[in-house]
Amino acid sequence: MSEKIYDTVMVGAGPSALAAAVYTTREDIETVLYEKGVIGGLAAITDKVDNYPGFPDGIEGLTLAGHLEKQAERFGAQIEFGQVESIRSDGDIKTLVIDGQDVKARSVLIATGSDYNKLGIPGEAEYYGRGVHYCATCDGAFYREKKLVVVGGGNSAVQEAIFLTRFTTHIDLLVRSTIKASDVLQQELQKFVDDGKITVHLATTPNEIIVTDGTFEKVTATKDGEATEFNADGVFIFVGLKPNTEFLGGSGVELDEQGLIKTDIHLETSVKGIFASGDVRSGATMQIASAVGEGATAALAIREYLDSMPHTEAAPALEAVL
Amino acid sequence: MSEKIYDTVMVGAGPSALAAAVYTTREDIETVLYEKGVIGGLAAITDKVDNYPGFPDGIEGLTLAGHLEKQAERFGAQIEFGQVESIRSDGDIKTLVIDGQDVKARSVLIATGSDYNKLGIPGEAEYYGRGVHYCATCDGAFYREKKLVVVGGGNSAVQEAIFLTRFTTHIDLLVRSTIKASDVLQQELQKFVDDGKITVHLATTPNEIIVTDGTFEKVTATKDGEATEFNADGVFIFVGLKPNTEFLGGSGVELDEQGLIKTDIHLETSVKGIFASGDVRSGATMQIASAVGEGATAALAIREYLDSMPHTEAAPALEAVL
């Protein structure tokens, strides 16, 4: 209803948006973030973050998320809960429909991240981060000299299984049907199979993840119709990534073949004034450090964009609320 | 002399290289960093870092640099002091000449940063970070409702002076000869001059920065041959950036017109196997968060590059030292 126009609206309140908000608000760019789930995103539900630079002994994901939130709020970021349903751009003004209400902004940052696809089996959600993992770069190093189960048969499953062999003594690779990875990856995989480092189990569907008295025990599965099980110290699941971009239909924001947002070098999307950063962006690494860095870079691009607009002084918008 | 070949050599040990080293070493990629100056780079000599995400109340630059160093070393990064004089690429092997000695590597990360050009006047070095600044995004917010002197007449000086008006009550812009900024920026500047927010002083050369009893007092200058002075709470100097890329002559690594290193989206330079991240990269933001994020991203690209090489197992190189 109101004629209020924000300088920038950020969709999502994970590490990338929170980092961007530290930058924009510190420069008096009026900023509101809309989060539909958890402030801090995937970081907030990560047990231990070992590789976010600045914390030599690692830091709990929830603690890091709290730091990021506090820092953004210190400079005046406003964080709201709400589901963004659509975005449209009418020249210099962007309109977001959030829980059925119109919200207007001069610029938008999309930092909604991506979710890992789940198997949906018992034990998977309960032991997330404590035996059940979706990111080899993040958590592989916790499994030095250990035995793992890896689930998946696509490019990323095969690539990450090969990567994980640098830590593990042995990997059972469970593939629901047949391996879909590229020929090059399959040839590479064969070397690890020949060396006895990876055993491939085709036509094998995981049923349950069993943890006994806090110790990871095994993954039960059905192989060719028969029950079987795989003892291990943990399981890594690579069955795809779901970028949170479904609300972009009709926005004109271009996506790549995986549904991730395409950006230019300044992190601007195909729609002028709409930017993207973090794990929702094409080329994303699923690393907090990269997401945070891109958030900072995007914030500078947003400032430059706002400065280049006609009648862009932030002042009127600010005064309207005061 | 030795036939030792590192998996990766990083040139520089600032935030970007240290972040990259956290990632590579945590994945058992044998990594050595060569630093010619200060570990932690510009961050280490920054008084207070207010916008590195994760530290809600800010953190001393030296403390942050120490954290980054400790974290990289925790996973096995080796940090050496030495000046890299040249790099050449012979197919899959890169040879760096460091203090006259050959060092060989399968991959290289260049993260040598850029230095701000200095005026070279009394007071400038002594009060760096405590009244004397080179980065408006980093330190502008410390000057809310304050009076500043800005030095420079190029695009970045004019752009940053305009940016700083969002904090300051008044800015004296000292220009040695005439303004060299683009027409668009000059027109924009004129509005702030008309509003009385910026006063431009042409043919004005700063002579000394005066701080009395710990309080910033003024900048003395010569204007049209006569001594003059400008009272203020601080000075921002924008007289250019010097990327640390002089050792790249003959390497084949392409630079942009400012001497910054061109990279593709995976942060690889024009030479296969040589990567660049942080403030030495074309498009750099001079922000620690961005430099750290790019370090993480570059490390993942380096891993992928090493994995794609024939006979790439890290093992042989590692065993050679054990």
How high is the ipTM of this complex? 0.85
Buried b (16+ CB within 10 A) or exposed e, A126-163: ebbeebbbbbbbbbbbbbeebbbbbbbbbbbbbbbbbb
Residue that has been written with the tokens 């603690």 in this structure? A63
Q: What is the mean pLDDT of residues B187-216?
A: 96
Spell out the residues 6+ positions from residue A195 whose beta carbon is closer than 8 angstroms to its own. none
- A227 vs B45, more confident: A227
Q: Tell me which of A187, A206, A237 is where a domain ends.
A: A237
Residues B301 and B229 in one domain: no
CA atoms B276, B285, B22, B45: torsion sign: positive
Instruction: Convert the pLDDT of each residue in B186-196 to its tens digit.
Output: 999 999 999 99
Task: Specify the 3-state DSSP secondary structure of A138.
Answer: helix
Question: In terms of domains, do A135 and A199 share one?
Answer: yes
Q: Give residue A205's domain range.
A: 118-237
User: Taking the CB of residue B117, how many other CB atoms lie within 10 A of it?
Assistant: 14
The Cα A172–Cα A147 span in angstroms is 8
A313 found inside a domain: no
Q: What's the whole-number mean pLDDT along residues B113-118?
A: 94
Judge if B17 and B128 occupy the same domain: no
Report the pLDDT value the prediction gives residue A320, as an integer from 0 to 100: 36
Taking 50 as the pLDDT cut, the residues of chain A under it are: 1, 312-322
The pLDDT score that the predictor gives to residue A46 is: 85
Q: Using a CB-CB distance cutoff of 8 angstroms, which residues of chain A are in contact with residue B23?
A: 51, 137, 287
Q: Do A55 and B67 touch (CB under 8 A)?
A: yes
Give the CA count within 13 Å in the CB-facing half-sphere of B225.
Answer: 0
- Same domain for B213 and B261, yes or no, is no
Q: Judge contact between B261 and B276, C-beta under 8 A.
A: yes
- pLDDT, position A2: 56
Interchain pair B19, A289: CB under 8 A: yes
Please determine, for residue B316, whether its predicted confidence score (pLDDT) is greater than 60: no
pLDDT-derived band at B2, boundaries 50, 70, 90 = low
Shared domain for A80 and A35, answered yes or no, is yes
Q: Kindly report, residue by residue over A68-102, the tens digit of the pLDDT.
A: 999 999 999 999 999 999 999 998 999 999 999 99
Examine residue A278 and state whether it is found in any structural domain, yes or no: yes
**Domain final residue pick, A237, A257, A287:** A237
Side chain identity, residue A152: G
Q: Which of A214, A237, A260 is the last residue of a domain?
A: A237
Regarding whether A68 and A50 lie in a shared domain, the answer is yes
- Assess if residue B321 is contained within a domain: no
> Is B315 part of any domain?
no
pLDDT for position A307: 87
How many separate helices (H) and strands (E) can be counted in chain B? 8, 19
Query: What are the angstrom distances between the C-alpha of A29 and each of A209, B232, B242?
Result: 47, 25, 30
Predicted pLDDT of residue A321: 36
Please name the helix (run of DSSP H) or strand (run of DSSP E) that holds residue B299, with its range, or none.
helix B288-308
The 3-state DSSP class for residue B168 equals coil
Contact between chains at B68 and A54 (C-beta distance less than 8 A)? yes
What phi-psi label fits residue B100: left (phi over 0), alpha (psi between -120 and 50 degrees) or beta? left
Where residue B225 falls (left for φ over 0; alpha for ψ -120 to 50; beta otherwise) is left
**pLDDT, tens digit (0-9, with 9 covering 90-100), for B267-285:** 999 999 999 999 999 988 8
Q: How would residue B87 be classed by pLDDT, with cut points 50, 70 and 90?
A: very high
Q: pTM for the complete prediction?
A: 0.87
Q: Is residue A201 part of a domain?
A: yes
Supply the CATH number for residue A267's domain: 3.50.50.60
The verdict on residue A318 lying in a domain is: no
Query: Beta-strand (E) ranges in A117-233?
Result: 132-133, 147-151, 170-174, 198-201, 204-212, 215-223, 226-231
Is the CB of A297 less than 8 angstroms away from the CB of B295?
no
Residue A56 is nearest to which of B70, B265, B294, comparing CB atoms?
Answer: B70
- Residue A72, in any domain of the structure: yes
- Return the pLDDT at A284: 87
Q: Are residues A88 and A161 in the same domain?
A: no
Question: Residues B228, B293: one domain?
Answer: no
Per-residue confidence (pLDDT) for residue B320, from 0 to 100: 36
* Within-domain flag for A314: no
* Same-domain status, B177 and B134: yes
Quote the mean pLDDT of chain A. 93
Cα–Cα distance between B142 and B131 in angstroms, integer? 10
Same domain, B245 and B106: yes
Question: In chain B, what percentage of residues exceed pLDDT 90?
Answer: 84
Say whether both A258 and A111 belong to one domain.
yes
List of chain B residues whose C-beta atoms are within 8 Å of the C-beta of residue A22 = 51, 53
Number of domains in chain B: 2
On whether both B9 and B67 belong to a single domain, the answer is: yes
